[in-house]
Structure 1
């Protein structure tokens, strides 16, 4: 295991307030209720809790500073590292903060400190889904109706999981607390470890007769229609979170959330860079040389654009505020048109004759163009000093 100070990001002379502050931040970050299904987060939560338990106690910290983790193990006459059982870091977390160490911290996870009778309160899992948007929808925002498969409350049992006409009974093993506390003593003092009651699996209640409709789960699956409102200016991989609209928890637990991942459909007419959009406009030799009026697509529909005479391939034309808004809706980007002079490949006799005549009267020969556009470094230096 890593050094306890490194785990918490502390120096070896950190005081108790620094230790508490770092643990609070890391415990919140890695708490299993915020990282459903992540074994890595669960292990990190366990490790930072263990590190905090040692470093907050002056005697344990002194022993650790002198002999390291092995010294703690060798000095404890029971339990795990440092004389406490690290197998249930949630219980250690609640034991530390439930008594007022950081008031209100437990409420972030719906845990609570002191417990008298526990009920089935596991939150339903978050539903994750994906929605595709077009660029016009991104530009203006959009409301969408989605059909979602959701676990809802079982009607026959009202979410209790018990057969209609019956009710779950209080677990005789834990008296409804859903947990059992064990006192352990070591050279560092007395520690209380809390483990879920095996009789009721931590719920505090036992269902004697299961509901046939949900088989004791208290919920059944069905389809629901939900409406989401997507604001203008979103980007790919933005999330919309619908709090309390997801799956119902087992046996009366609160609803989870719905997390909607936004994806932007490719539009063959445009590419995007932040709030600006780009469009490539092919034009002919004659349009480039003489200028022209052409129509180009925009998010708002077709727009008339003036091509100035003598425009070069690769030049840009800007359509102000015809791009996308930012997420706050205060600023709108531009549409940038990149001009590409199209070179024909299959010429008929008339076209060949016309271009042949043009070659004889062109203002600049290719060699002159190269000399103008590819002057050497020393030539430009000389020109800067002489004005020539």
Structure 2
């Protein structure tokens, strides 16, 4: 009787864990692979997603950072055969209980950088056949006005590129080197390498065009890029490159940019330089900056207006505005004017 109860209890526990596994199974969705995915499929999916959502490519994007952490957590489980098997049977909760009970296979707190490093330049142990070919990046120079860089803006750009389409026939694809051992004598083996290729649907390139809206953010610098990941040139049996719009700041008639600061020159008369003046300066967004003074302004004098420069990219702060004053001297003076000036200044 006791044995029968134990069996029933065991079945109920197993059933509850299975229900948890079905309800909470999400690691495959996170990596965008089927439940039957091979180890190689999981590695490739991880590499692609980790590159896309890496914090270095998404500065200040909390959603991307969260997604990056989820991707690494999912890969840590699905890349480990023991953890994956437990996860498939009992779900995330069963995996946690297994690790809490001292289960083998490593802790759940593996450093994300250790996983990422194995793929992108730190481990050095990635097999050549696991590397994914990537198409060429496309770089487009995008002219932007200083007004756009100050206030933000967008441009609609026509884009034409090659697109991979199905074609009649079959082709050799997924070529890889397979190592095997051949016996050449009693107790003697020779290591051999053979290229193995699968047969896939044939493909061809077709040219397609469409409009892309490129957002120019406030404070972007000359040479900074707006990247559309995987929208560059495609490659058969690989990942497409990226489309990069490189900002090229157009010269402005009145303002000159240096970093996050703006510089401009204002011409005043000799009288204004001596007795002061009231004057406003129209900014890039057409708001007026008061540059008046009551004192004497020397030729080439520079006045600083704090916070009236360019906005800092991804920040609420701004640089400064520097106004250089040029004094307009008269070309000639009459005898009477010279006498009066001597009387005043002499």
Alpha-carbon contact 2:170-2:199 (below 8 Å) kept: no
- Give secondary structure in 1 for the equivalent of 2:338: helix
Q: Which of these residues, 130, 141, 147, is aligned with residue 136 of structure 1? A: 147
Aligned to 2:221: 235
Aligned residue number for residue 342 of structure 1: 328
2:265 alignment partner in structure 1: 280
Equivalent pair of 1:281/1:339 in contact (CA under 8 Å): yes
What is the TM-score of this pair, normalised by structure 2? 0.54
CA–CA separation in structure 2 for the residues paired with 1:315 and 1:150: 53
* Matching residue of 2:293: 307
- Aligned with residue 360 of structure 1, among 339, 342, 346: 342
3-state SS of 1:280 partner: strand
1:169 deviates by 5.3
| Contact kept in structure 2, 1:288 and 1:307, CA below 8 Å | no
Deviation at 1:191, TM superposition (A): 11
Cα offsets for 1:139-186 (capped at 9, x unmatched): 1222222112211122xx2xxxx41xx33357xxxxx64335598xxx
Counterpart of 1:136 in 2: which secondary structure?
Answer: helix
Which position in structure 1 is the counterpart of 2:170?
Answer: 167
Q: Which residue of 2 aligns with 1:268?
A: 253
1:323 aligns with 2:270: no
The residue matched to 2:342 in structure 1 has which SS?
helix
Alignment coverage as a number of residue pairs: 223
Structure 1 spans left out of the alignment, 5+ residues: 1-101, 171-175, 184-189, 211-215, 365-388
TM-score (norm 1): 0.49
Which of the pair is proportionally richer in strand?
A: 2
How far apart in 1 are the matches of 2:259 and 2:295?
31
Name the CA distance, whole Å, in 2 between partners of 1:283 and 1:236.
32
Matches of 2:170 and 2:342, distance apart in 1: 99
- Residues 221 and 191 of structure 1: is their aligned pair in 2 closer, same or farther, counting only changes over 3 Å? farther
The 1:169–1:275 alpha-carbon spacing in structure 2 relative to 1, beyond 3 Å, is closer
